[in-house]
Amino acid sequence: MKAEGRNAVTEAIRSGVTIDKLLVNKDLQDPGAKRIIAMAHEKRVKTQFVERKVLDGESETGSHQGFIAFTTEFNYCEIEDILAAAEAAGQPPLIIILDGVEDPHNLGSVLRVAECGGAHGVVIAKHRACGVNDTVLKVSAGAAEHVRVARVTNVNDTIDFLKKRNIWVMAADLNGQDIYKTDLNCALALVVGGEGAGVKRLTREKCDGVVTLPIYGKVNSLNASVACGIALYEALRQRAAAIK
């Protein structure tokens, strides 16, 4: 896999992921570039200084900013690892489940939201859904290196697994309860649907309930990653309010 761009490469180096080699535009002299190069040297990352055209040829995103790191395949975790992380932090689990998100830009954005919002992990499907690839790494701006991502065979089986562990599973979808009038201050898994179709019918029926974001414009739905961010931060707001 390739981590492209300054943020993605910086976070790859910081996270300790195995980097086989780092390609750097040999003409870069700005302070930001020098900091990344110094960090790579400190971590003993094999670094090659090359012409920009070499980076252009290797780039998958077309936005490498002078840095491309070749890393090992993404290290997925198990759902149990996500629960263990919540327990270790002494917090009720806060999990995002993606139901058929196929756009790598959406997945990358969700991982960034999850990392910034302190979610304990993200669950994605192995089939008919996007996995963590080079584009996801780039869009996540390095967040993918810090988020636990479990890739499961069956999302509905995972929902059953979480419900047996007393985790409330709520779908973020149309025609549900107003999210701002719903108690989310609990062990929680938020299910976010894919582009266009939303949460699948059978998956929705598996959930304990459905929450809906109020829509005041003429378009009747939000981008998956935007909806995920709003729902996650509403859950965080309620947790914070309960502590005060």
99 token code pair: 């139901």
Spans of the chain, pLDDT less than 50:
none
**For residue 68, what are the CA distances in angstroms to 27, 60, 91?**
15, 10, 36
Q: How far apart are CA 95 and CA 182, in angstroms?
A: 17
Amino acid 43 reads K
13 token code pair: 């180096």
Question: What are the start-end ranges of the H helices in the chain?
Answer: 6-15, 31-42, 52-58, 79-88, 104-117, 134-139, 155-164, 201-206, 224-243
| 2-71 and 79-243 in the same fold | no
Q: Give residues with Cβ within 8 angstroms of 27, minimum separation 6.
A: 52
**What's the start-to-end Cα distance of the chain, in Å?**
44
96 φ/ψ angles, rounded to the nearest 5 degrees: -110, 130
Cα angle vertex 89, ends 88, 94, to 5°? 105
If one looks up domain 79-243 in CATH, what number appears?
Answer: 3.40.1280.10
**Which CATH code, of 3.30.1330.30, 3.40.50.970, 1.10.357.10, 3.30.70.260, is assigned to 2-71?**
3.30.1330.30
Query: For the chain, what are the domain ranges?
Result: 2-71, 79-243
Q: What is the pLDDT of residue 60?
A: 84
Sign of CA pseudo-dihedral 191, 103, 11, 6? negative
Q: What is the pLDDT of residue 10?
A: 93
Q: Which element (helix H / strand E) includes 151?
A: strand 149-152
